[in-house]
């Protein structure tokens, strides 16, 4: 009886009619929190309060601050890649009739190209995002040196406000899934291509407004572009720094990275992107010293032949500068290998050599000048050690085959050593 009396004496509750339209339509209680109620946030749908907040008010205190970035909005939309619709349940366990998609808007409203396009994320894309943050990122970074958790935490967060990063992450995750599941590779490649296309378009749209405020996100976008290019695998006629049909595709991308670093390097490598050294990398181990010495002696033998043929010309000095940098690259790479680090851990020394090459030497490579191609063949030896990463599988054999095909037979003897190392 006491319980019954307690129920009867409970204070009456008056229903509020000021909840959002979504909660009214679904007949659930709205907490009326602004700028978006908890129920709408939970189901990732537009809350009416968002538009209410954005409406100018007569009271100055209620006007939104212009310095705060606009919040990303979310809505539901079916994916062309999913065979069945995902229906998020409400609080009672009932499924909603809406299908999942997320509309991600760039906070950089200065770009008309981006503001005119609506970037949507389907449930299938959410799977890609989940795969990136749980699996893919581990394959492209050494967590021992990524102490700021750039790839695990910050990059995915930046993706919510930078469409290029988000879509390039999804493209890379799709290609990784295609590698893990060859029987479904064609489907994943289609997804990757869609995201890659939009990612490239987004980067291109904001490159003209590169500044100290967005240089880090643009730089990481270009790094992701390069990774996606590698993950797609070798293309016939394209050999990274030279091509059978004109400008090499990857070299164009690399030049874009170099241009961004040239103008904003000091700002890019600050904060979470500050370069971290790996204390495990020390000198070259005795076990690998003989192997390194063998490579270096072969390179020196070619250098003597080249100097004898060139006779001290200005072109010869361009080659010598590239060879000296190649020696340093081998030393750095073998220090990494001595610490048990291969795969993407060799990305910095390997592509750092390409990055530091003079424009004159790059032009020689593009022209398929024989001495330059032989030097590149020795560079491919370190490219072989990156083959333990799924990103770089088959690239060493592909590039060395392109070099051999482009060289006259009289130069084949000078690439016998790189060919033997790579093909063993």
List, as one string, the DSSP characters of 364-376: HHHTT-HHHHHHH
Please report the pLDDT score of residue 92 as a whole number. Answer: 33
Neighbours of 44 (CB within 10 A): 16
Q: Identify whether residues 301 and 226 lie together within a single domain.
A: no
Separation CA 155–CA 18 (nearest Å):
39
Task: Give me the pLDDT at residue 45, please.
Answer: 66
> ∠99-103-107 over CA atoms, to 5°?
165
CA distance 225 to 170: 11
The strand ranges marked E within 97-196 are 101-104, 119-122
Please state, for a pLDDT cut of 90, what percent of the chain lies above it. 58
Sign of the CA dihedral running 386, 392, 397, 399: negative
Q: In terms of domains, do 296 and 190 share one?
A: no
Q: Let me know whether 199 and 319 are in one domain.
A: no
The last residue of one of the domains, among 250, 273, 296, is 273
**Same domain assignment for residues 391 and 308:** yes
**One domain for residues 343 and 379:** yes
- Show Cβ contacts of residue 364 under 8 Å, excluding neighbours closer than 6 positions: 315, 318, 319, 371, 372
Which range has the worst mean pLDDT, 67-71, 240-244, 359-363? 67-71
pLDDT for residue 231 is more than 80: yes
pLDDT tens track for 300-338: 999 999 988 877 676 789 999 999 999 999 999 999 999
Q: Give me the mean pLDDT over the 214-225 stretch.
A: 95
Residue 117 included in any domain: no
What tokens were used for 21?
A: 């339209």
Q: Is residue 8 part of a domain?
A: no
- The kind and range of the H/E element at 106 are none
Do 338 and 297 share a structural domain?
yes
Provide the domain count of the chain.
Answer: 2
Looking at the structure, do residues 345 and 396 belong to the same domain, yes or no?
yes
Question: Would 250 be classed as within a structural domain?
Answer: yes
The answer to whether residue 79 sits within a structural domain is no
Residues 132 and 261 in one domain: yes
Q: Domain for residue 381, yes or no?
A: yes
Exposure string (b/e) for 59-91, b if CB count within 10 Å is 16 or more?
Answer: eeeeeeeeeeeeeebbebebbebeeeebeeebe
Residue 158 and residue 247 in one domain: yes
Identify whether 42 is part of a domain. no
Task: Decide if 41 is inside a domain.
Answer: no
Is-contact 415 404, C-beta < 8 A? yes
In a shared domain, residues 201 and 243:
yes
Q: Which domain holds residue 183?
A: 123-273
Among the candidates 241, 273, 305, a domain finishes at 273
- Angle of helix 370-385 relative to helix 395-406, nearest 10 degrees? 170
Q: In the structure, what pLDDT confidence band is assigned to residue 52 with cuts at 50, 70 and 90?
A: low
pTM given for the model: 0.72
Whether 49 is in a domain gets the answer no
One domain, residues 266 and 303: no
Pair (340, 256) in one structural domain: no
Identify the domain boundary among 207, 241, 273.
273
pLDDT digits (tens, 9 = 90+) for 124-145: 899 999 999 999 999 998 877 8
């Amino acid at each position: 009886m006491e319980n019954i009396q307690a129920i009867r004496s409970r204070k009456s509750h008056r229903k509020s009619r000021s909840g959002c339209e979504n909660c009214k339509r679904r007949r659930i209680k709205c907490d009326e929190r602004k700028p978006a109620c908890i129920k709408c946030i939970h189901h990732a749908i537009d809350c009416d309060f968002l538009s209410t907040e954005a409406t100018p008010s007569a009271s100055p205190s209620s006007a939104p601050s212009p310095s705060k970035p606009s919040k990303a909005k979310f809505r539901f939309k079916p994916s062309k890649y999913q065979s069945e619709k995902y229906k998020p349940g409400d609080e009672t366990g009932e499924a909603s009739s809406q299908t999942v998609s997320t509309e991600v808007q760039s906070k950089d409203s200065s770009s008309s190209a981006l503001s005119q396009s609506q970037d949507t994320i389907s449930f299938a894309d959410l799977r890609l995002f989940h795969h990136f943050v749980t699996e893919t990122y581990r394959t492209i970074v050494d967590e021992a040196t990524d102490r700021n958790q750039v790839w695990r935490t910050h990059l995915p967060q930046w993706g919510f406000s930078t469409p290029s990063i988000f879509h390039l992450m999804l493209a890379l995750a799709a290609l990784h899934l295609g590698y893990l599941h060859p029987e479904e590779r064609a489907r994943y490649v289609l997804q990757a291509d869609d995201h890659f296309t939009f990612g490239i378009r987004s980067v291109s749209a904001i490159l003209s407004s590169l500044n100290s405020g967005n240089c880090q996100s643009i730089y990481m976008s270009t790094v992701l572009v390069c990774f996606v290019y590698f993950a797609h695998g070798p293309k016939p006629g394209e050999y990274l720094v030279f091509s059978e049909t004109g400008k090499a595709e990857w070299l164009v991308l690399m030049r874009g990275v170099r241009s961004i670093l040239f103008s904003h390097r000091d700002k890019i490598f600050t904060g979470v992107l500050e370069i971290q050294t790996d204390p495990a990398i020390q000198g070259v181990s005795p076990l690998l010293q003989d192997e390194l010495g063998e490579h270096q002696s072969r390179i020196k033998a070619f250098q003597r032949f080249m100097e004898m043929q060139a006779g001290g010309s200005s072109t010869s000095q361009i080659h010598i500068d590239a060879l000296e940098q190649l020696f340093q690259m081998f030393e750095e790479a073998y220090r990494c290998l001595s610490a048990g680090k291969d795969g993407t851990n060799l990305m910095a020394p390997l592509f750092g050599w390409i990055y530091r090459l003079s424009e004159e030497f790059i032009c020689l490579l593009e022209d398929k000048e024989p001495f330059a191609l032989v030097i590149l063949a020795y560079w491919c030896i370190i490219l072989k050690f990156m083959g333990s990463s799924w990103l770089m599988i088959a690239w060493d054999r592909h590039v060395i085959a392109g070099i051999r095909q482009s060289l006259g037979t009289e130069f084949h003897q000078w690439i016998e050593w790189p060919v033997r190392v790579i093909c063993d």
